[in-house]
Structure 1
Amino acid sequence: MSLEILFQDEHLIAVNKPAGLLVHRTELAKEEEDAVVQRLRDQTGQWVFPVHRLDRGTSGVLVMAFSPDIARQLAAQFAESQTRKTYHCLVRGFCDKSGVIDYPLAKLNEKKGRSRFKIVGTEKAAETSFLSLAQYQLPVPVSRYDNTRLSWLEVTPKQGRTHQIRRHFKHQLHPLVGDSRYGCRHINKVIKDIWSEDYRLMLHASKLEFTHPATKEVKMLNAGFDKKITTVLDRLSAYRYEAIC
């Protein structure tokens, strides 16, 4: 299937990555034929070079380059926190109206075995700002609670540490819905049981702002939500809680 192209010129291409699709094959997924890199190669007839990555379960804006040099220049902007990334996510519980999670994170490396990642190296600074857009209370028991409470957030990570958003909200005791690694199994089971056909990691890279390495123009790219997210949000609207204080 063709990927939705958000921007393309002779140097770069940006797509709205679907949830469930790898950016590129890894040591843990050597046998998989389908990935963004392979699809874009077939779709454009050109080799593409990854600049950054989104987790397999995450959808949204993903940029790739048509040359190694452009890829290196743009990757440096990500590494030096010169880009601005905006995500949306659904988390357990009622979050504050706004806040900043300032919690250092150690690097994670992929490895074979029972655990897909291991912690390596020392902790590095990691900041994630968030704004609560809506709160929901479903009349569905979860664990020891009578109701299921959820928050829909706009999130801006300053850095791009591996799983930064997912790890930060786990640390805040507001894990993301649909997160099999850092999430709450009770919440995940509730959502999967009532909306099984639309169950996914509820994390979407909505917007990306960066400086084009060749033209020096500031580019702002937006990616719309997929059908699963819009369907879940439509259903949740009936359970919207009172305005956030």
Structure 2
Amino acid sequence: MSGVQMRDVGDDGQDMRLDRWFRNNFPHVTQIRIEKLCRKGEIRVDGGRVKPATRLEAGQTIRIPPLPEPEAQTTPREVVLSDDDIRLMQDSVIYKDEHLIVLNKPAGVATQGGTGQTRHIDMLSNALKFELEEKPRLVHRLDRDTSGVLLLARSGRAAALLTKAFQAKETRKIYWALVAGCPVDAAGTIRYGLVKQGGIGVERMTCIHPDEVDATPGAKRATTDFATIEKIGTRAAWLGLSPITGRTHQLRAHLAEIGCPIVGDGKYGGRGQENMGDGWGAILGGDISRKMHLHARSIEFTHPFSGKQMFFEAPLPDHMQKSFDYFGWNLKWAPKDPFKVFE
């Protein structure tokens, strides 16, 4: 494609990430190319510099620099899902109305596409159109190996309102985790900052002491509340977690930093283990699964259109349920909000 183009964002682009908008409109342009064009300032929105994750609004104008011509065989293809994928997604629906869908995301399925990710919720959500023509849109993310409550919007307007609620911290998410070890305090707050370790494409976060965050290039402040629901001496604990901020791998990195890594976490298996890679992590042995034991248990928010207060819980995945049964933990013991116990 020769020459610079100026293209307006339509209603279907409301609250869509810039990189996703580009992939939808120019499927032959790679994610790496989009990131490079953003860094160089060649892609702009309403004249301003942007990042790949910038959220768009209907009516904005995107500057599109000259792009390579697509190869003849590179054409947008209709997504074709298997019967198993359709059943997986539709069986995962906890709640649905005309504006939103609440899923219990399966562990092991990425939320969005990326390097090496060809099967993900964003693609599989084509199975959730139901009576509408467009598939629902992601409002937030969960890590690939994290299961649990995931919220999707069924229109651009719903996506914009729900995203604003997340940004304004008007939603409350509670996670459950099985960790190796037990926190010194029964409840508390972790305030280590986080900075990405390595270069482009590397998603491993390093914790930074709160006093050093502002002086560390690229570091961002991060806050996690935790509360102990049950424990087995100092061997393991069932924790309730509430991320006050929403940084990449925040819960996983924070728990590893305080010496209580999430069981089965291959990237953050414990402090001082610099060479640990995927496939390792905190392992309890016995009949405890090596899969990651982190689950988005519940979400509470105000419905963007009715104003009704909404609350949803997601059942545990099988591997976590088996681990809880192994320790004799009954889910009925857990309060709806474990943090209120320590107020």
TM-score range, shorter chain: 0.7 to 0.9
Aligned twin of 1:56: 144
Q: TM-score, normalised by structure 1?
A: 0.80
Query: Does 1:78 find its partner at 2:166?
Result: yes
CA distance in 1, matches of 2:158, 2:217: 29
Query: Which of 66, 74, 89 is equivalent to 2:177?
Result: 89
Greater relative contact order, per chain length (Cα 8 Å cut-off, separation 6+): 1
Does the Cα contact within 8 Å between 1:133 and 1:151 map onto a contact in 2? yes
Alpha-carbon distance in 1 for matches of 2:326, 2:96: 35
Give the number of the structure whose alpha-carbon radius of gyration is greater: 2
Residue 171, structure 1, aligned to residue 257, structure 2: yes
Match of 2:325 in 1: 234
Shift, 1:216, TM fit:
2.0
Runs of 5+ in structure 1 lacking a partner? 138-147, 239-245
Query: Which of the residues 33, 38, 52 maps onto 2:123?
Result: 38
Q: Distance in 2 between matches of 1:188 and 1:23?
A: 22
Alignment size in residue pairs: 221
User: Deviations along 1:198-240, whole A, 9 cap, x unmatched?
Assistant: 32111000000112222222211111101111101111239xx
- Provide the residue aligned with 1:141 in structure 2: none
Which residue is 1:21 aligned to?
109
Residue deviations 1:49-74 (CA, integer Å, cap 9, x gap): 11000000000000011122211221
> Given the alignment, which residue of 272, 290, 294 partners 1:203?
294
Q: 1:232 aligns to what SS in structure 2?
A: helix
What stretches of structure 1 move > 4 A for 4+ residues in a row? 107-110, 117-121
Do residues 105 (structure 1) and 190 (structure 2) align? Answer: no
TM-score (norm: length of structure 2): 0.58
RMSD: 2.7
Quick check: 1:79–1:160 contact (8 Å CA) kept in 2? no
Is this contact kept in 1: 2:267–2:281, CA < 8 A?
A: no
Q: Measured at CA, do residues 159 and 13 of structure 1 come closer, stay the same or move farther in structure 2, by a change above 3 Å?
A: same
Structure 2 equivalent of residue 224 of structure 1: 315
- Which one of the candidate residues 286, 303, 313 is aligned to 1:194? 286
- Please, which runs of 5 or more residues in structure 2 have no aligned partner? 1-86, 207-215, 271-275, 330-343
Structure 2 Cα separation of the partners of residues 166 and 154 of structure 1: 13
Cα drift, residue 118 of structure 1: 7.2
Given that 1:14 and 1:62 are in contact with CA atoms closer than 8 Å, whether structure 2 keeps it comes out as: yes
Corresponding position: 1:212 with 2:303:
yes
Query: Residues 202 and 122 (structure 1 numbering): CA distance in 2 closer, same or farther, change over 3 Å?
Result: same
Mapped to 2, the partners of 1:101 and 1:206 lie a distance apart of: 20
Residue matched to 1:183:
269
Name the CA distance, whole Å, in 2 between partners of 1:44 and 1:110.
37
Judged with a 3 Å threshold, the aligned counterparts in structure 2 of structure 1 residues 157 and 109 are, in CA distance, closer, same or farther, namely farther
Partner in structure 2 of residue 159 of structure 1: 245
Determine what percentage of the aligned residue pairs are the same residue.
32
How many Å separate the matches in 2 of 1:118 and 1:125?
12
Instruction: Provide, for residues 11-31 of structure 1, a one-character-per-residue CA deviation record: whole Å limited to 9, x for no partner.
Output: 1111000100111212x135x
Higher strand share: 1
